[in-house]
Structure 1
Amino acid sequence: MKGMTTCPSCKTEFVVDVPESGHSYHSTRCPKCEYPFKINLGTSRETETAATPHRKSGMKKSALQSKGAKTPKPVVGGAFLIAVFLMAGAMAGGMLFLGIGGIWTVGLMADSAFEGQTGTVYGQVLDSGGNGISGVSVNRWDADGKVWETVNTTGSDGSYYLTDVEAGYQYLRFSKAGYQTKIIEDVVIPHPVEDTVWFYQNITLKPGNGEVQEPGVAATVVQGVLTGLIVWGANLGAMAIFILVGGIMAITRKRFGIALAASIVAMFTMCGQLISLVALILIALSKEEFTKGEKMEFESL
């Protein structure tokens, strides 16, 4: 017996050949999207086909009923996953912005946050053997950021102490004849934390000419944090994309495995763990809706 049916997934109509086996259901697969589903060969629940078969061009029409009825559970679960995607995506974007922007971005934020405040930077200037170098000029950009101004000269033991340094992103330059000039870029934090080891800068100068540039103590620590933000931001972004795919699969009731896996991944993003758990439960409870067909029609020739 041949008949016409409609794929519950892509709505493609196609002809199926049903053997006279006496079974109530016949398994088939859509030739277009390859979605598998079962056709109910039993009596229709529709009145017109139960009592008086409807005739049209020699064809008898009966209703096909899927084994599982649709519920809003997968749609709600999918909506929750998309909400997690939005939160995770925003967090990943922020992490990548800070991480890729680097110390310069943090410095600009510090300039804004610490505007009008000052801090202290101190330490020693040493040679390659660890001995203090006296008479080293310590310079920083002037208030307009146009020229270097001398703010200190190291003592006999190579020590220097800079007070009232404008908080935020700063460049310091250490120079002396016969040594390479070293420029330190750092983020200065205002009082009262100026006496912590974070701002004790030991500077090593090597014999020679030219300039070298390197991050200071605080900038080195910040840069390590920023690198971590880049790595975690990239991972979180990839997780967010997978969660979005899972949310779409749940709403369209396709690929149960992907939807379920996405809800599990969502719980590890630290973005809406409660709604991720709810989404996991809703999707797990609606498994049958992903694997079974929907109500359609079968026309016997």
Structure 2
Amino acid sequence: MLAYAIRRIAGAIPTLLILLTLAFVMIRAAPGGPFDAEKQLPPQIEANLRAKYHLDEPLYEQYARYLWDVMHFDFGPSFQYQDLTVNQLIASGFPVSLKLGLASLVFALLLGVPIGILAALRQNRITDYGLMTLAMLGISIPNFVLAPLLILLLAVHRDWLPAGGLGGPSHYVIPVIALGTAIMAYVARLTRGSTIEVLRSDYIRTARAKGLPMRRVLFLHALPAALTPVVSFLGPATAGIITGSVVIETIFGIPGLGRFFVQGALNRDYTLVMGVVLFYGILIVVFNLIVDLVYAWLDPRVKY
């Protein structure tokens, strides 16, 4: 398994290099620059700024310089946040995004798995149809539509929860629901389908024929096998939570990494955008590796 993990990490390096190259080219191809503002800078000052950040060099030299810095885990200085490096901005914003993302993932799993199991046990009954209809609605409604609706219902009309900002646990309730609802719906549907398939397996019939209670059969024998598709889905789910957090953090004014990314893109902060993109890419690679290793623990038939 250690050799497999090393191979996966080594195989991810070309992917991250392509990701970095695309981000480098696309952010520079966008109109405008990091020093464009409503008030035009004097030409000499702008030339000095461009020379300070090596923007006066040819693109291939800028790319080679940035790649060398990244290899030393240095994402460079921010163009818009003075006296701060991209590493410092990531270090300040990532804990907030991590807390929001983990809370959304826990919310999705704690609700999605029981809903899927209940629907499987009540297959083709009104409970099954009702739960799967709600799951389809959760998949269909984008988080940037669900978030304002939740704000109107729970913060504006009822004044039960804060509408935005960052403070106590109550400030996380609406963002977590908005970010985790779609993932919860996918988990519920996956759990339902896999549970129905596992409950029809021969070893489950054998366990039932021996007189084991349904609760023990479900939780000790069926559930580990039924959760393998859900575990496999956690990799794409993490990517969905990461990309969704960019929108959610902007809507709710949460000072996380996603909000830095949006502001960096609007301000043409080249190093900040590329640093966040590369950092997110590394996170997804690491989490997918963890998911693959957990998959082998749940399903002994998997060999590395």
Range into which the TM-score falls when normalised by the shorter chain: under 0.3
Question: How high is the TM-score relative to the length of structure 1?
Answer: 0.26
Higher strand share: 1
> Larger C-alpha radius of gyration, 1 or 2?
1
